[in-house]
Structure formats: structure tokens, C-alpha cells
């Protein structure tokens, strides 16, 4: 314990009988090579480690947020099925003019994938599964706060009735179905790789079974839709064939009735004639029948061409009339119509691709019309020629029939009609055969796709679990916390390395003291540890600071009286003053430390004493120096504590007794330390600097800023203070060995 030294021996100041070796001296200018400014990774790590509690708190908070999200967010399940597009087509040659062959491009799977996720198909699946009645998909079916309050029996009846009126009614209308369909489409995914016909259809839902059912329903509806489209197309083709068969059958029956009528008429009239005329008449009649049959066939072709041109359906033409160019144009028209229909679900009508497809389709249809016109022109010329030939034969037949009997003419007409009946019968049989084949194959068509793998209910949810979200939240929280600390450090102008502080102040860095303290403020104090652990790094650091102070000189003289100040309060200058004094005494130096911080004195509390008299009393002239001097029994250093006074004016600080005290102490002490208030708070250090040979600026790595250091140096230099260096305290992170060990690179070099 420290007590005031009141013995007679202590009242007489000792003579300087302790010899010490003269040390090399240095001017009060920077003596260390500075480095570029900025914070190194070690400084950033030190800033984080210095605030490790906040970083840990942000990590824990982030983990709790992640776990909370995992609890609050609904779990989702992902079901997936596989569909394959078939590239082979069932071939029926007789239906070549009715059904167009399906062309599957290497990228065809992508078009089918868009169809699988189309709105129409999804809406059918939603309605089939009844998702509009499921509260997981229909938000109006979920219980609201008003609904739960309405069911609370402990509430008054009138209040529950009022809540019933306020609660929204469940909706299962078209708008809600449309909303459900849109939400389902957002969670649907249909993927097809490059040059692949396999389509992977997946859905992420709120229920495993429902997700699998929805995927399977979409694939089955797609296949059913494909089959239905084929059946519909072939049904229309069969209806056209049936109508044509009925027309041909009616014409065939009329021709047979005409033959029977003419045969009956021939039985009533008997006439004879010469054999030559009969043969001539028979030859002319045969030729006329042939020309007439050919003309009829050509006229039917012309009628088909006119029908195709008027109705815009070139597929009703006979295969014999379709030229290779027309067949190619029809195939191009079918491909363009299918491509246009598939692209309409992805692009708008004004999209450049849609406009280009429509223009190309119009050009193809124009070419088809031109080809039909050219074909009709040729058939029309043939009809005109056949009619002229028929008229010529009619005139010949009329001339020959004048010489023939009525019976012979009738027989010729009957034969002609029979030939026509045979031709009509052949055409009727052909169309009837096509119609029967079409009807027979209506149920044989398969879809162009098949399900390779049905979707099964997933066993594990696809949404992130509690552990994963907790870890992610902890990582994000730690990163955010560390980032905020670094940003805060930079925003407030925080300090980096000791070299940066020295370069900023334009002064040498005398040393850097690490942050010291136990848990919750427990553990020995800094000025006690330099004695308790004299061989520690901390003690060696203080010795290095003392060594550098001794090596300094001002105006060619050693700095014996050194003022210790700081930019801001609580920078550790008082504890450092006590520690330097104790180490100096341990090194054999006669050291005196004065507490001139009259506003907030702290040396007495640091020493653990409550002296009855203080420096304030001495300056007031109430006591002598021997009455206020306190000797440290542990280190033999001398201290003069202050009690604190409200009267701390300039006149008080400039009293002659204080100046005489310093002058007398110069004769009896090797080192005199003056602890002063913060230079950024009061002007006391500027007034007291006239008593000191030099000044040491103590900077707290945690609290000091660049601006405060620069302003402190400016104020001290403006008062004529000789600054010999900067000492950093409470340094976090790694401190270079040249500062921790007082200038040596490593402890082993001693």
C-alpha cells in the first residue's frame, strides 16, 4: 500500500547520487520509417476481435432469424415426372391427303414444355384436382383472425355477430381459380435439354401428395389432349369422305335407273338396219361415250379445283390433280400454320417473329392460289376441247342415226350408260374404301408423347431446413456484423496501424500497448502488472517507451520534464504515467510524477491512496512540498497527487509555486512526468506545456480519430510544445514487435 512519506528523511530532497550512463540522444522529429496509410488485414482483424462480442451477438441473432424463418415459412415439396416426345408417326397411305405428318424438330421439346405449363392445361388440372377447395391454394378458405375471434365462445354474442359481418366470405369463383392457376404456374418448371426429346416436368407445392398428383395430371392431360386433337382431325376427314360417298352412291343409282328406263323403251320399238351403218353408229357412239366420260371426269376435276379455290382447302383435291409443287406448298402451309399456332402462346401478334411467320404464310397461300389458277386454266382448256370434240361427235352421230333405226340408237345409249355406270361404280368403291379405313382407324391413334416416369410423392421437403437456414443466418449475421464494424470504424475515422498514427501526427511512435483487462473488469491493473510481471511483454513495452523518451532531446538538451496528455478522456494517460514512473524507478532512475489534471485527478485512485494533502494545497501556499509528496513503496517512485478543484483558471495553473516546484525537482530527479487533462477538452495542457521540456501524446486506438489527433498536434504546436512522440494504448489485433518490445524485433534478441 502507498502512503505519504512523512518521515524526517523524506522532507529533505535527496541529492542526485545515482550515476547513470549517458545515453544517445535524438531530436524530437520522426525517427521511424513510416508506411503508407490505410488499414491492413491485421488491423481489420483487430477491429473485429476488439468487438468480438458484437460480432458474436450478430452471429447468434442471424442464426435465430434463420431458425425463425425456417419455423414460420411453410414447408414445400418438389415432385418431378419425365415425358418423352415420340418422333415416329403411324403411317396410313390412304389418309395422306387428310392428315399432315408431324414434324419434330430437335428443339421440339421446348415447344412441348411450354404447352405443358400453358394456362389452359394448368387450369384443367386445377379443376380436376379440386385445388380451388383446398385452403393451401385458396387463400379465402384459410382461417383469418376475425374468423378465429368469431368462433371464440368467451366473446359476447353481439361482438361475434359483428365480426361475422366483417369477415370476408370464401370465394370459389372464376377470379379465384385464375389466381390459383397463376400461382401454380409460378411454381411449375418444364425443362428440355438441347437436342433432346425428354421433358422434365416439376412442381414445388405445399403438399407432397398434391404436388405429385398435379404433375401426373398435367402429363396425362397433355397426352389426352394430343389424342383428342388427332381424333378430331380424323373425324372431320371421315365426315368429308362420308359426304362424298353418299353423293357418289346417289349418282350411281340415278344412272342405273336411266339404263333400266332406256332398256324398257328399246323393248317397245323394233327396227332394222344395215350392218355397216350399225357398226358406224356403234363406233361413233363408243367414241362419244369415251369423250363424254373423259369430259365428265375433267369437269369434276374442274369443280374440285373451283371448290378448293373458293373454300381455301386444297386438301379436297384428288391425288392425281396435286402437282409436286402444289404438294410441297401445301406441306409448307401446314408447317407454317403449326409453327404460328405454337408461337402464339409465347409471342404477341405484333412480335417480329409472328409478323414474319404471317407474311411467310401469306406468301405460301398466294403461291397455292397461283398454282390452283394455273391448274384450273389447263383443266378448263381440256374441258373446252372435250366439249368441242363431243359436239363434233354429236353431229356425226346425228347424221349416222338418221340412217339407223330407233332400236339401234337405244341400244347404243344403253351401252353408253352402262359404261358410265361402271366408271361411277369404280369411283364409288374407291371413296367407300377410304371412308371405311378412316372410321376403322379412329381409335388406333396414339399420342406423340409418353410418360416415362410418373411423379411420386417426395419423402423429404425441398425447402431449406432449420439447420441450414440457421447456419446461413449465422454466416450472414456474422458477415453483416463484421462489415458494420469495419464501416463504423472507417466512418468515424478509426486508426489503423501504429505506423499510420505516427505518419498522421508527423511524430515517431514510441510504443503501442495492447488492450488489457479481465472479464467483467476483473484482473490486475496495467500499472500493477508492470511490477507483478516484470518479465512480460507488457513490462518490456513500457521499458521501451521509457528508453525512447530518454533518447529524446529538445534544443540540444535532454527532455527531463515530460508532459503526458491525450486528445480525449479515458485514453489511458494516467495509468501510463504511473507505469512509466514505476518502471523508471525499477531501472534506478529518480522519477517524480505530478497529477496536474486538477479537474479529474486519477493518479491517487490509481495508486490506491487518499492523501490528506495534495498539489492543490501546495499551490495555494497552505503546505510545503514535503507534505504532499507520496512515495511508492513497491517501486520507490515519487508521486504528487491532486485532489481536484473547481478553481482551475489560468492564473491558478501559472502560479509561481508550481514553476518553482518543477525547477527544484529538476535538481533532484532524473525524470519528471506531468499528467495533464485532454487537450481536446480544455486548454490546461497548453498552459502547462510551458513547464515541460517535451510532450508525449497518448492515443487510444479504440476511441481516437484521425481528426482529433491532427487537431491535438496542431493545438500543442501552436502553443510552442515540443512533441517527441505518440504512444498508442488499447490496441486490438496484432501489434508489430518493434512497438511491443520497445524497438527490438523479437524478445529472443535480448
Q: What is the Cα–Cα distance from 548 to 541, expressed in whole angstroms? A: 11
Range 610-616 average pLDDT = 84
pLDDT digits (tens, 9 = 90+) for 183-242: 888 888 888 776 677 888 888 888 888 888 888 988 888 888 887 777 777 778 778 888
Which pLDDT score is estimated for 445? 62
The CA distances from residue 512 to 492, 496, 544, 619, 742, in Å, are: 21, 12, 10, 35, 9
635, 585 contact by CB (below 8 A): yes
pLDDT of 281 > 90? The answer is no
For domain 495-739, which CATH number applies: 3.30.2000.20, 3.40.50.300, 1.10.3430.10, 3.20.20.80?
Answer: 3.40.50.300
**What is the pLDDT, as a whole number, of residue 451?**
83
H-state helical runs in 441-551: 466-491, 498-505, 526-532, 537-550
More confident residue, 460 or 648: 460
pLDDT of res. 137:
83
> What's the confidence (pLDDT) of residue 241?
82
Residue 120 or residue 322, greater confidence:
120
DSSP-assigned letter for residue 23: P
Residue 159 pLDDT > 70? no
Q: What angle do CA 117, 120, 124 make, to 5 degrees?
A: 100
Question: 413-418: long-range contacts (C-beta < 8 A, 24 or more apart)?
Answer: 413/262, 413/285, 414/259, 414/262, 414/263, 414/266, 415/285, 415/286, 415/289, 416/285, 416/286, 416/288, 416/289, 416/292, 417/255, 417/258, 417/259, 417/262, 418/259
Q: What is the pLDDT of residue 230?
A: 77
Cα distance between residue 710 and residue 675, in whole Å? 20
Helix, strand, coil in percent for the chain, rounding step 5: 60, 10, 30
The whole-model pTM stands at 0.44
Helix (H) or strand (E) holding 83: strand 77-85
* pLDDT(382) > 60: yes
Q: What is the pLDDT of residue 37?
A: 43
Give the rounded percent of residues in the chain with a pLDDT score beyond 90. 8
Q: What's the rounded Cα separation, in Å, for the pair 131 and 332? A: 42
26 φ, ψ (degrees, to nearest 5): -130, 150
Q: Centre a 10 Å sphere on the Cβ of residue 43 and count the other Cβ atoms it contains.
A: 23
Condensed to tens digits (0 to 9), the pLDDT of residues 670-686 reads 999 999 999 988 888 88
Per DSSP, the three-state class of 332 is helix
CA dist., res. 59 & res. 394, Å (int): 110
CATH 3.40.50.300 residue ranges of the chain are: 495-739
How many angstroms separate the CA atoms of 229 and 112, rounded?
15
Edge-to-edge, what's the strand order for the sheet holding 449-453? 188-191, 198-205, 77-85, 449-453
What is the overall mean pLDDT for the chain? 75
Q: How confident is the model at residue 30 (pLDDT cuts 50, 70, 90)?
A: very low
Cα–Cα distance between 101 and 317 in angstroms, integer? Answer: 18
pLDDT score of 310 more than 60? yes
3-state SS track over 372-399? HHHHHHHHHHHHHHHHHHHHHHHHHHHH
Distance CA 743, CA 749 (A): 11
CA distance 205 to 221: 19
Q: Identify the residue with better confidence: 489 or 438.
A: 438
Cβ(719)–Cβ(31) below 8 Å: no
What pLDDT digit, counting tens, does each position of 82-109 carry? 888 776 554 444 444 444 444 445 445 5
CA distances from 614 to 172, 573, 643, 691 (A): 90, 20, 6, 19
Span 119-127, mean pLDDT?
88
Query: What's the whole-number mean pLDDT along residues 164-192?
Result: 79
In this structure, the strands spanning 557-558 and 552-554 are antiparallel
Backbone phi and psi for residue 38, each to the nearest 5 degrees, phi listed first: 115, 160
Q: Give the separation between CA 572 and CA 581, rounded to whole angstroms.
A: 14
In the chain, the percentage of residues whose pLDDT exceeds 70 is 73
Count the alpha carbons within 13 Å of 448 in the hemisphere toward its beta carbon.
18
**Cell numbers representing residue 696 in the block:** 508525449
Q: What is the mean pLDDT of residues 60-75?
A: 80
Which residue matches cell numbers 369463383?
A: 173
Would the pLDDT of 584 be above 70?
yes
First-to-last alpha carbon distance for the chain, in angstroms, is 33
d(CA 57, CA 478): 8
Residue 145 CB: number of other CB atoms within 10 A? 9
Place of cell 404460328: 340
- Select from 486, 500, 491, 498 the least CA-distant residue to 37: 500
Amino acid at each position: 500500500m502507498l502512503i505519504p512519506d512523512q518521515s524526517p528523511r523524506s522532507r529533505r530532497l535527496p541529492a542526485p547520487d545515482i550515476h547513470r550512463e549517458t545515453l544517445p540522444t535524438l531530436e524530437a522529429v520522426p525517427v521511424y520509417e513510416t508506411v503508407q496509410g490505410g488499414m491492413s488485414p491485421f488491423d481489420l482483424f483487430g477491429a473485429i476481435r476488439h468487438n468480438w462480442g458484437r460480432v458474436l451477438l450478430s452471429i447468434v441473432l442471424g442464426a435465430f432469424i434463420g431458425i425463425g424463418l425456417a419455423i414460420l415459412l411453410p414447408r414445400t415439396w418438389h415432385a418431378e415426372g419425365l415425358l418423352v416426345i415420340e418422333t415416329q408417326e403411324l403411317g396410313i397411305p390412304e389418309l395422306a391427303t387428310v392428315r399432315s405428318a408431324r414434324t419434330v424438330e430437335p428443339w421440339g421439346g421446348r415447344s412441348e414444355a411450354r404447352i405443358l405449363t400453358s394456362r389452359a392445361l394448368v387450369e384443367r388440372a386445377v379443376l380436376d384436382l379440386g385445388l380451388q377447395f383446398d385452403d393451401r391454394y385458396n387463400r379465402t378458405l384459410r382461417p383469418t383472425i376475425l374468423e378465429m375471434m368469431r368462433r371464440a365462445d368467451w366473446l359476447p354474442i353481439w361482438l361475434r355477430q359483428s365480426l361475422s359481418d366483417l369477415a370476408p366470405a370464401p370465394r370459389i369463383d372464376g377470379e379465384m381459380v385464375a389466381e390459383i392457376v397463376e400461382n401454380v404456374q409460378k411454381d411449375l418448371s418444364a425443362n428440355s435439354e438441347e437436342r433432346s426429346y425428354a421433358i422434365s416436368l416439376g412442381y414445388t407445392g405445399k403438399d407432397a401428395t398434391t404436388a405429385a398428383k398435379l404433375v401426373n395430371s398435367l402429363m396425362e392431360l397433355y397426352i389426352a389432349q394430343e389424342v383428342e386433337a388427332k381424333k378430331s382431325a380424323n373425324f372431320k376427314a371421315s365426315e368429308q369422305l362420308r359426304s362424298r360417298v353418299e353423293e357418289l352412291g346417289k349418282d350411281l343409282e340415278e344412272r342405273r335407273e336411266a339404263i333400266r328406263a332406256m332398256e324398257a323403251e328399246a323393248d317397245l320399238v323394233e327396227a332394222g338396219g344395215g350392218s355397216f351403218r350399225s357398226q358406224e353408229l356403234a363406233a361413233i357412239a363408243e367414241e362419244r361415250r369415251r369423250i363424254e366420260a373423259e369430259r365428265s371426269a375433267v369437269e369434276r376435276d374442274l369443280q374440285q379445283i373451283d371448290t378448293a379455290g373458293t373454300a381455301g382447302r386444297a386438301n379436297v383435291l384428288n391425288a392425281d390433280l396435286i402437282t409436286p409443287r402444289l404438294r410441297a406448298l401445301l406441306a409448307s402451309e401446314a408447317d407454317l400454320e403449326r409453327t404460328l399456332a405454337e408461337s402464339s402462346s409465347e409471342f404477341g401478334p405484333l412480335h417480329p417473329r409472328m409478323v414474319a411467320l404471317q407474311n411467310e404464310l401469306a406468301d405460301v397461300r398466294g403461291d397455292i392460289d397461283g398454282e390452283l389458277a394455273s391448274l384450273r386454266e389447263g383443266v378448263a382448256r381440256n374441258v373446252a376441247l372435250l366439249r368441242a370434240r363431243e359436239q363434233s361427235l354429236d353431229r356425226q352421230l346425228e347424221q349416222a342415226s338418221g340412217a339407223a333405226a330407233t332400236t339401234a340408237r337405244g341400244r347404243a345409249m344403253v351401252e353408253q350408260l352402262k359404261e358410265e355406270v361402271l366408271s361411277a361404280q369404280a369411283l364409288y368403291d374407291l371413296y367407300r374404301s377410304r371412308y371405311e379405313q378412316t372410321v376403322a382407324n379412329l381409335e388406333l391413334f396414339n399420342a406423340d408423347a409418353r410418360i416415362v416416369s410418373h411423379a411420386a410423392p417426395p419423402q423429404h421437403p425441398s425447402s431449406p431446413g432449420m439447420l441450414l437456414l440457421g447456419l446461413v443466418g449465422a454466416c450472414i449475421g456474422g458477415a453483416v456484423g463484421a462489415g458494420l464494424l469495419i464501416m463504423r470504424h472507417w466512418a468515424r475515422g478509426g486508426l489503423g496501424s501504429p505506423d499510420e498514427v505516427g505518419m498522421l501526427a508527423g511524430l515517431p511512435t514510441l510504443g503501442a500497448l495492447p488492450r488489457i483487462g479481465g472479464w467483467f473488469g476483473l484482473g490486475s491493473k496495467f500499472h500493477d502488472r508492470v511490477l507483478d510481471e516484470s518479465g512480460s511483454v507488457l513490462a518490456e513495452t513500457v521499458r521501451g517507451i521509457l528508453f525512447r523518451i530518454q533518447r529524446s532531446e529538445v534544443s540540444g538538451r535532454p527532455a527531463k520534464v515530460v508532459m503526458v496528455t491525450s486528445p480525449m478522456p479515458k485514453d489511458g494517460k494516467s495509468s501510463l504515467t504511473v507505469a512509466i514512473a514505476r518502471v523508471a524507478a525499477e531501472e534506478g532512475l529518480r522519477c517524480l510524477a505530478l497529477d496536474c489534471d486538477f479537474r479529474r485527478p486519477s493518479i491517487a485512485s490509481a495508486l490506491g491512496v487518499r492523501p490528506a494533502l495534495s498539489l492543490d494545497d501546495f499551490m495555494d501556499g497552505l503546505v510545503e512540498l514535503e507534505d504532499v509528496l507520496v512515495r511508492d513503496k513497491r517501486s520507490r517512485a515519487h508521486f504528487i497527487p491532486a485532489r481536484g478543484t473547481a478553481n482551475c483558471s489560468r492564473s491558478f495553473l501559472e502560479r509561481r509555486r508550481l514553476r518553482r516546484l518543477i525547477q527544484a525537482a529538476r535538481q533532484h530527479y532524473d525524470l519528471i512526468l506531468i499528467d495533464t487533462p485532454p487537450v481536446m477538452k480544455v486548454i490546461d495542457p497548453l498552459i502547462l506545456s510551458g513547464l515541460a521540456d517535451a510532450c508525449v501524446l497518448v492515443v487510444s486506438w479504440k476511441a481516437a480519430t484521425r481528426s482529433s489527433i491532427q487537431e491535438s498536434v496542431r493545438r500543442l504546436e501552436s502553443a510552442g510544445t515540443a512533441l517527441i512522440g505518440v504512444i498508442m494504448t488499447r490496441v486490438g489485433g496484432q501489434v508489430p514487435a518493434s512497438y511491443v518490445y520497445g524497438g527490438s524485433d523479437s524478445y529472443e534478441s535480448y
